[in-house]
Chains A and B, each alone.
Chain A
Amino acid sequence: MNLSRPDRAEALAAEYVLGTLRGRARARFERALDTDRALGDAVRSWEERLLPLAEALTPVAPPDRVWRAIQARLQTARTPATSFWSSMSVWRGLALASLAVVVVLATLLLRPTAERGEGAVIAVLATKDAKASLVASADRFGRYLTIKAIERIDVPADRSLQLWMLPAGGNPQSLGVIETTTLARVALSAPADQALRNIPALAVSLEPRGGSPTGLPTGPVLYSGPVQRTY
């Protein structure tokens, strides 16, 4: 492809935009576009000339699933800061009514050790649409948190679920990667009532296998919920 002659470059740019430049010639032209600024300008001029013609087409509304698929694709690619805190606002908006349901549910699912009368710390983690999915619980003076999946959760082989404490006004702190196929346990740095004292909520995010490489959530928050105390 000889692009050194301006008239040739111009003609190829026109056919590129029209769509008749095809096959390997198109691929070669695109590679040349990456480095050749004049060629890029020629393409842009042709786009401005030809593409407005497309406005004559009668619009056709795409099916809703296209937008849903776009959103799903972006969920997994989003940057930590925005995705995390925007997801967090979701559980804050949960109605009190659903919270009540959730606490009852949590009590039912509590492991027997938590019923010794000394009190427990419980968090029911729900999806964005308020579907309770995981229960995290600990004895008030226990040194570990038990996590139980309410229903089967399938995690892709190259991903892990990671549990986080969400301190009021601070960065999320990792409690570790959790398995959902069995009862998961994560160790706490202190008895639960102390370790979770200033933690209003817990959340689980989808991370690369083995957990977030950055120490902060990088993937979408799948589940979150407020920390409740029964003492």
Chain B
Amino acid sequence: MLLMKKVFFFSLLLLTGIAANAQSEKYVKSMEKLIQAMDTTWNTDRLVELSNSFERIADAEKTQWLPYYYAALARVNAGYALGKNNAAEQTDPYANKAEELINKADALEANNSEIYVVKKLINTLKLIGDVMGRYMTAGAASAEALAKAKSLNPENPRVYLQEGIDKMNTPPQFGGSVEEGKKILEKSLEKFKAFKPASSIHPQWGESVAQRFLSR
């Protein structure tokens, strides 16, 4: 009887342990699957779908910042995937929704360099929609977010990735330079080599993007 009781409690412990573990395993597995899908997707509709999926996980988990972070990243990339020469009318819905999502991530995880990288991406998307009209607002916010990302973690390779791309894409009259941009991208590659993500689902994207821009 005593043995049976012990076995019962042991089993119960085991069972709850598995359940709890299964929960986080389910979270990690689902996230890994979606993150992998993101790495191979550059299509607006598909990225919106992924963003929705991340948001679902985020809403269900409630305390995890990563799914909101990826939901925002997928959403802002969906805006970029529309292609160049899209006016603010087209890109703003993506930027606004991404902003809403990244603010949720920010509320759960304050002062994270990765979150500011996404904020930078969002403001740059807004800027591209209306360069003349938003140079002073979104342009300044974008530069500010990137500076903050750098100050929070100077080792974050994605900071240099964005800085390099910006330098390459800015017209020379505004201080842009393809050559200098590439130098910064080289630096980002060094940082990528040294970078160790905190887990399999923490941000680690960007190395292939840097290589793609360098080969242009």
Chains A and B belong together in one complex: no
